[in-house]
Amino acid sequence: MTARRPQSRHCGRTVFAMLRVYNSMTRTKEEFIPIRPGEVSVYSCGPTVYDEPHIGNWRSFVIFDVIRRYLKSKGFKVTFVQNITDIDDKIIKRANETGVHPTVLADRFTATYLEQARILGNEPADVHPRATEHVGEIIELIQCLIDKGFAYAAGGDVYFDTSHFKTYGALSGQPIEELEAGARVEIGEMKKSPLDFTLWKARKPGEIYWDSPWGEGRPGWHIECSAMSMKYLGDSIDIHTGGVDLKFPHHENERAQSEAATGKQFVKYWLHVGFLQIGGERMGKSLGNFLTLSEMMKKYDPMAIRFYLISAHYRSPLNYSEELLQSSAAGLKRLQNTVSMLSHMVTAAPPGQDAAWQELLRGFKTRFYEAMDDDFNTADAIAVLFDIAKAANTYRGDIKREMARETLSLFEELGKILGLKFLDAKAAGGDTELVEGLLRILLDLREEARKGKDWKTADHIRDALSSLGITIEDTPLGPRYRR
Ligand code: AMP
Ligand code: ZN
């Protein structure tokens, strides 16, 4: 079989190159060197919980999860913090419109977020801090900024004084004049400059509020992330993530207020996810062009949706179209069928290993890690999965038991990094291993019946499985099933 098999582009050894990440701050790909060797701190901007997230939001949240999984797979001890914005203008507006208390509304959609994250295969953060539970820390940080001359109180509000922070605008890379031209001052605001931003908002009638040294009110949005990042991860962190829309003003403001308060670098690497677009335009709640996960799940398996969301490099825009989703679903199915075939071969194929096959697998593995080391290139990493499947299908007749086992475990290792499950969990009712095991028992019983010429029992098993959407295929290696 060696002569027929395509040669691996790599000759043998698995070499893990260094990880390079695109840093929005320097606008270059840099070697990733964490602040503390072996440890990585990640702060990821989480959802504003006034409604169900749309799949554009999910693109960002799923990518953050893949980045975290990959860092872990490289042996880093990762601490991943993702906030829940449970108080802001949108929550108050929606609460007023629906007559639901803002806290009840936020709790409801926090639960929705966490449940949908689970369904999509995201691991829960190490901490999911909520803004309303950190008002004390937020007030302390604002006071520190006032004491250091970086913030001022006016009319019950507190504003950050951007003119005092010399490198304001460095993250978004735009000149101050351009940022100023795009900034707006809302009615009633008493900012010194349109670029100054609110740290504390004075209470408005009917709004939820907390006591503070500047009167009753509530925190601004940007300050919550600085306060919670510092509380759980320290003054300086390795990675801060968000969608590209957060670069300005949210992250620019987070950076300004954090570095003004501590005098230290706030974030070493800023990572921003490109938009999921529909008809060439960003998908967004305010644009009304969005789809939720619940809507998508009526048609597609959550794993297929995840597969689609990571199918492009994270910094490129990703278009939404039915065709792309269908092709992602079909692609995932191809991988699942290969994995199912291999798991069948682990028991049905004759024992045996093959050094050339092992070398081929090592080559695939190297390519996968190289793709991920190149700024988390999931698109190229997924292409490697298809190449493994192609090789396994091309040489299925030659694959022996140990070869199948090793290929399966490679699928499992690489799938885990992307958060993908290749055994069809939905079809298996969520208990894949058990169902796979039961199916094998039925197939063995059918084989015994056939050997004993008990066609009635054999046909009964085949027809009963067929009515459940499971087809039995008789192959030279024995029967296997396909969903
Ligand atoms: P929000 O709940 O609005 O604060 O957004 C949650 C996350 O989704 C943030 O990181 C946003 O940058 C990100 N996001 C919003 N819209 C999109 C989109 N169309 N594509 C990708 N990410 C998005
Ligand atoms: Zn944030």
How many whole angstroms from 267 Cα to the centroid of ligand 2?
12
- Among 21-35, 141-155, 167-181, the range scoring the smallest mean pLDDT is 167-181
Atom of ligand 1 nearest to the CA of 246: 12
What's residue 6's pLDDT?
33
Helix axes 322-348, 302-309, angle to 10 degrees: 110
What's residue 476's pLDDT?
66
Higher pLDDT, 287 or 313: 313
Residue nearest to atom 6 of ligand 1 (CA): 47
b/e map of 315-345 (b: 16 or more CB within 10 Å)? beebebeeeebeebbebbbebbbbbbbbbbb
> Is the pLDDT confidence value at 115 over 50?
yes
- Hey, which of 62, 245, 247, 285 would you mutate to test ligand 1's pocket, going by the most ligand atoms within 8 Å of its Cβ? 245
Determine whether 213 is exposed, middle or buried from the number of CB atoms within 10 Å of its CB (0-12, 13-18, 19+). Answer: exposed
pLDDT in tens, 36-65: 999 999 999 999 999 999 999 999 999 999
Q: Average pLDDT of 195-214?
A: 95
Helix axes 135-147, 252-262, angle to 10 degrees: 70
Distance of alpha carbon 96 from alpha carbon 111, whole angstroms: 20
- Among 126-130, 387-391, 470-474, 478-482, the range scoring the smallest mean pLDDT is 478-482
Percentage with pLDDT > 90 across the chain: 81
Fill in the DSSP letter of residue 434. Answer: H
| Among the bound ligands, the one closest to the CA of 246 | 1
What pTM value is reported for the model?
0.86
DSSP string spanning 199-229? EEEE--TT---B--TT-SEEE-HHHHHHHHH
- Among 184-188, 192-196, 258-262, the range scoring the smallest mean pLDDT is 184-188
With beta carbons less than 8 A apart as the criterion, state whether 263 and 167 touch: no
What's residue 424's pLDDT?
57
> Is the pLDDT confidence value at 294 over 50?
yes
With beta carbons less than 8 A apart as the criterion, state whether 78 and 71 touch: yes
Q: Which residues line ligand 1 (CB under 6 A)?
A: 45, 47-48, 56-57, 59-60, 242-243, 245-246, 273, 275-276, 282-284
What's residue 175's pLDDT?
87
How many whole angstroms from 56 Cα to the centroid of ligand 1?
6
What's residue 73's pLDDT?
97
Percentage with pLDDT > 70 across the chain: 94
- Among 62-76, 97-111, 420-434, 450-464, the range scoring the smallest mean pLDDT is 420-434
What's residue 258's pLDDT?
98
- Which residue in this structure is represented by tokens 């306060």? 227
Residue/partner pairs of 26-34 with CB below 8 Å, 24 or more apart: 27/173, 29/375, 30/269, 32/269, 34/76, 34/238, 34/268
Higher pLDDT, 265 or 450: 265
Give the tokens for residue 71: 């860092």
> Is the pLDDT confidence value at 11 over 90?
no
What's residue 444's pLDDT?
85
What's residue 183's pLDDT?
82
User: In the structure, what pLDDT confidence band is assigned to residue 3 with cuts at 50, 70 and 90?
Assistant: very low
What's residue 125's pLDDT?
98
- Among 77-86, 341-350, 419-428, 443-452, the range scoring the smallest mean pLDDT is 419-428
- Coil, helix or strand for 268? strand
User: In the structure, what pLDDT confidence band is assigned to residue 333 with cuts at 50, 70 and 90?
Assistant: very high
Q: Average pLDDT of 403-432?
A: 81
Q: Is 373 left (phi over 0), alpha (psi -120 to 50) or beta?
A: alpha
Helix axes 135-147, 221-233, angle to 10 degrees: 100
Atom of ligand 1 nearest to the CA of 277: 19
Q: What is the dihedral of CA 282, 51, 208, 258, to 10 degrees?
A: -50
Distance of alpha carbon 305 from alpha carbon 296, whole angstroms: 8
Q: How far is CA 114 from CA 69, 108, 418, in A?
A: 18, 10, 19
Distance of alpha carbon 154 from alpha carbon 191, whole angstroms: 8
What's residue 17's pLDDT?
58
What's residue 206's pLDDT?
87
Strands 267-273 and 77-82: unpaired
With beta carbons less than 8 A apart as the criterion, state whether 339 and 410 touch: no
What's residue 464's pLDDT?
85
- Coil, helix or strand for 443? helix
| Among the bound ligands, the one closest to the CA of 255 | 2
Determine whether 464 is exposed, middle or buried from the number of CB atoms within 10 Å of its CB (0-12, 13-18, 19+). Answer: exposed
Atom of ligand 1 nearest to the CA of 274: 21
Q: CB under 8 Å to 478, separation ≥6 — which residues?
A: 348, 447
User: In the structure, what pLDDT confidence band is assigned to residue 436 with cuts at 50, 70 and 90?
Assistant: confident
- The whole-chain average pLDDT of the chain stands at 92
pLDDT in tens, 144-171: 999 999 999 999 999 999 999 999 999 9
| Among the bound ligands, the one closest to the CA of 45 | 2
User: In the structure, what pLDDT confidence band is assigned to residue 1 with cuts at 50, 70 and 90?
Assistant: very low
> Is the pLDDT confidence value at 454 over 70?
yes
Q: Average pLDDT of 86-109?
A: 95
Distance of alpha carbon 27 from alpha carbon 184, whole angstroms: 27
